[in-house]
Amino acid sequence: MAEKSPYAGVTVLVIEDESNTRLLIKRLLLQIGIISVLEAGDGKAGLDEAMRTRPTVILCDVHMEPVDGRQFLKTLRGLKVRDLATTPVIFLTADAQTDTVLFAKEHHVNGYLVKPVSLTALKSRVDAVLKTAQG
């Protein structure tokens, strides 16, 4: 009998405006064993997708047009649907500016991944968020 994947039932939504980066992150997620990966090209499309599919974890770029990661997170956290509003969000960014970090803390971001994203960093961040969410 095949061993059950630790990621069975886990769906990750990747919100990233650069298609090459989105594809790379999707490939990395597949490599670590997450087979259910959804994509969106900006915060608005990401919000629509999150409401439609209820992902387990959201990886979200900070700098996008027309709806950026900050606006996406603020809107998501303000939703009336509790399980959706508390979906774990990991920011994808090369931005370590103080105001971005403070905003992320204030709006309960669950983690940060610095671009370019490595397989090891992605796996450890996703694992930590899933462990906290299940705990």
**Is residue 84 domain-resident?**
yes
**Is residue 85 domain-resident?**
yes
CATH number for the domain spanning 75: value is: 3.40.50.2300
- Decide if 43 contacts 71 (C-beta within 8 A): yes
Question: Which residues span the domain enclosing 55?
Answer: 11-117
> What share of the chain has pLDDT > 90, as a percent?
77
- Tell me: pLDDT of 2 over 70: no
**Is residue 6 domain-resident?**
no
**Is residue 23 domain-resident?**
yes
Task: State the chain's mean pLDDT as an integer.
Answer: 93
Q: Report pLDDT digits (tens) over 43-82.
A: 999 999 999 999 999 999 999 999 999 999 999 999 999 9
Whole-structure pTM value: 0.94
Residues 6+ apart with CB under 8 A from 114: 93, 94, 96, 121
Q: What integer pLDDT is reported at residue 3 of this predicted model?
A: 64
**Is residue 127 domain-resident?**
no
Strands (E), the chain: 11-15, 36-40, 57-61, 89-93, 111-114
Q: Give the whole-angstrom CA distance, residue 95 versus residue 112.
A: 10
The structural domain count of the chain equals 1
**Is residue 125 domain-resident?**
no
- Tell me: pLDDT of 1 over 80: no
**Is residue 104 domain-resident?**
yes
Q: Give the whole-angstrom CA distance, residue 40 versus residue 110.
A: 19
Nearest CA to 29 out of 112, 126, 115, 131 is that of: 126
Q: What integer pLDDT is reported at residue 29 of this predicted model?
A: 98
**Is residue 108 domain-resident?**
yes
Q: What integer pLDDT is reported at residue 114 of this predicted model?
A: 87
